[in-house]
Amino acid sequence: MNSTIKGCLTGVVLSTILVTGLVVSASPATADPASAAATCLANTRLNQFTATGSPYGNGTTLSWDVTRGCPEVTVITSDIPLPQPTTNTSLKAPSVTTEYNLYAKIGGLPARLLGTRTALAGKIIDYVYIAKARAWMGTPGDGPDADAAKVIAHKMAGAFTEQAKRIFLGKRIDIHIIPHDAKLTDLPPWRSKAGTTTCTDEDPEGEEGCVNDRPWDDVRGASSGAVAVGEENLVYIEGKSTYHHGHTLAHEFGHMPVNFNETLRNSVQTILNDRGPEASYVGQDVNTRQNADEYFAESTAGLFRYPISATSLTEEYNPTWLADHDVPLLKKLKTIYNVLACNSNGFCYL
Residue 51 · residue 117 · CB < 8 Å: yes
pLDDT tier at 201, thresholds 50, 70, 90: low
pLDDT at 37 over 90: no
Domains along the sequence of the chain with CATH:
3-119 (no CATH), 124-349 (3.40.390)
- Among the residue ranges 1-15, 94-108, 227-241, the one predicted with the least confidence is 1-15
What mean pLDDT value characterizes the chain? 85
Burial 22-33 (b: 16+ CB within 10 A, else e): ebeebeeeeeee
Question: What are phi and psi for residue 9, nearest 5 degrees?
Answer: -125, 110
- Among the residue ranges 35-49, 111-125, 295-309, the one predicted with the least confidence is 35-49
Top-confidence residue, 65 or 155: 155
Segment 105-117 shows an average pLDDT of 81
Top-confidence residue, 204 or 65: 65
DSSP state of 5: E
Please count the CA atoms within 13 angstroms of the CA of 72 that sit on its side-chain side: 9
Give the rounded percent of residues in the chain with a pLDDT score beyond 70.
82
The confidence score (pLDDT) of residue 5 equals: 43
Top-confidence residue, 204 or 55: 55
The confidence score (pLDDT) of residue 91 equals: 36
Top-confidence residue, 95 or 13: 95
Top-confidence residue, 192 or 211: 192
What dihedral do alpha carbons 231, 232, 238, 240 form, nearest 10°? 120
pLDDT tier at 34, thresholds 50, 70, 90: confident
Environment class of 324 (CB within 10 Å of its CB; exposed 0-12, middle 13-18, buried 19+): middle
Alpha-helical regions (H) of the chain: 33-43, 144-157, 162-166, 247-259, 262-275, 285-288, 292-303, 319-325, 327-334
Give the rounded percent of residues in the chain with a pLDDT score beyond 90.
62
pLDDT in tens, 77-94: 433 343 344 444 343 479
- Among the residue ranges 33-42, 121-130, 229-238, the one predicted with the least confidence is 33-42
Top-confidence residue, 3 or 272: 272
What dihedral do alpha carbons 319, 325, 329, 333 form, nearest 10°? 10
Top-confidence residue, 200 or 336: 336
pLDDT in tens, 270-294: 999 999 999 999 999 999 999 999 9
pLDDT tier at 58, thresholds 50, 70, 90: confident
Environment class of 285 (CB within 10 Å of its CB; exposed 0-12, middle 13-18, buried 19+): middle
pLDDT in tens, 306-335: 999 999 999 999 999 999 999 999 999 999
Burial 131-157 (b: 16+ CB within 10 A, else e): eeeeebebeebeeebbebbbebbbbbb
Q: How far apart are CA 187 and CA 194, in angstroms?
A: 10
How many residues can be counted in the chain? 350
Query: Based on C-alpha coordinates, what's the Rg of the chain?
Result: 24
Alpha-helical regions (H) of 55-207: 144-157, 162-166
pLDDT at 125 over 70: yes
The confidence score (pLDDT) of residue 204 equals: 53
Residue 227 · residue 256 · CB < 8 Å: yes
- Please state whether beta strands 3-10 and 59-68 pair in parallel, antiparallel, or not at all (unpaired): antiparallel
Residue 247 · residue 301 · CB < 8 Å: yes
Segment 165-188 shows an average pLDDT of 98
pLDDT tier at 180, thresholds 50, 70, 90: very high
Q: How far apart are CA 285 and CA 348, in angstroms?
A: 25
Which H or E run includes 32? Answer: none
Residue 287 · residue 248 · CB < 8 Å: no
pLDDT at 142 over 60: yes
